[in-house]
């Protein structure tokens, strides 16, 4: 699975996103900021997503991206215990719809990921292929979850 990001100019989107990271104790850590106050960068210098950015996900094979699925970031929100990201599909995607990912830490310290989506085939030929497209969405969602679970260390009982 690969991701490509197409930057937009400041005039193309409202810039409201500020990335949150957590230290080993689970406390929020302020990210380093460079350039304008609206841009947030990782330690390696990559700019974080912001509303208006175009993302293209797909199956990465070698250096090429097969089955590219374009989308536009429509929402990025950050609160003290919650981060939310939403993307809407663009022409070229087999579905027309949106997906939202919410990561939230509850009062008991547990962390929950909620994925909400709605979509329908974007083309006439998508309707007969709907069962195959839905299976592909399920497999992609499982891959997202597997990737996230790999980042969480085991806690002794």
pLDDT of residue 16: 40
pLDDT of residue 72: 92
Burial track 103-128 (b if 16+ CB lie within 10 A, e otherwise):
bebeeeeeeeeeeeeebebbeeebee
Query: What order do you get walking across the sheet with 2-6 strand by strand?
Result: 2-6, 54-61, 64-79, 82-89, 95-105, 111-121
- Residue 128, pLDDT > 90, answer yes
pTM: 0.62
pLDDT of residue 15: 41
Domain spans, the chain: 2-150
- Residue 109, pLDDT > 90, answer no
Q: Which of 62-71, 76-85, 86-95, 139-148 has the lowest mean pLDDT?
A: 139-148
pLDDT category of residue 20 using cuts at 50, 70 and 90: low
Q: From CA 146, how far away is CA 148, in angstroms rounded?
A: 5
């Amino acid at each position: 699975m690969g991701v490509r990001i197409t930057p937009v100019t400041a005039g193309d989107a409202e810039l409201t996103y500020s990335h949150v990271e957590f230290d080993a104790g689970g406390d929020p850590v302020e990210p380093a900021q460079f350039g304008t106050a609206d841009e947030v960068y990782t330690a390696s210098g990559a700019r974080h997503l912001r509303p208006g950015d175009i993302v293209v996900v797909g199956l990465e094979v070698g250096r090429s991206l097969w089955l590219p699925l374009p989308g536009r970031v429509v929402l990025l929100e950050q609160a003290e215990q919650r981060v939310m990201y939403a993307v809407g599909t663009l022409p070229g995607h087999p579905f027309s719809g949106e997906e939202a990912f919410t990561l939230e830490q509850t009062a008991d310290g547990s962390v929950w990921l909620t994925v909400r989506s709605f979509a329908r085939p974007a083309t006439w030929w998508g309707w007969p292929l709907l069962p195959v497209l839905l299976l592909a969405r399920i497999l992609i969602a499982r891959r997202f979850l597997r990737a996230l679970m790999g980042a969480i260390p085991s806690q002794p009982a």
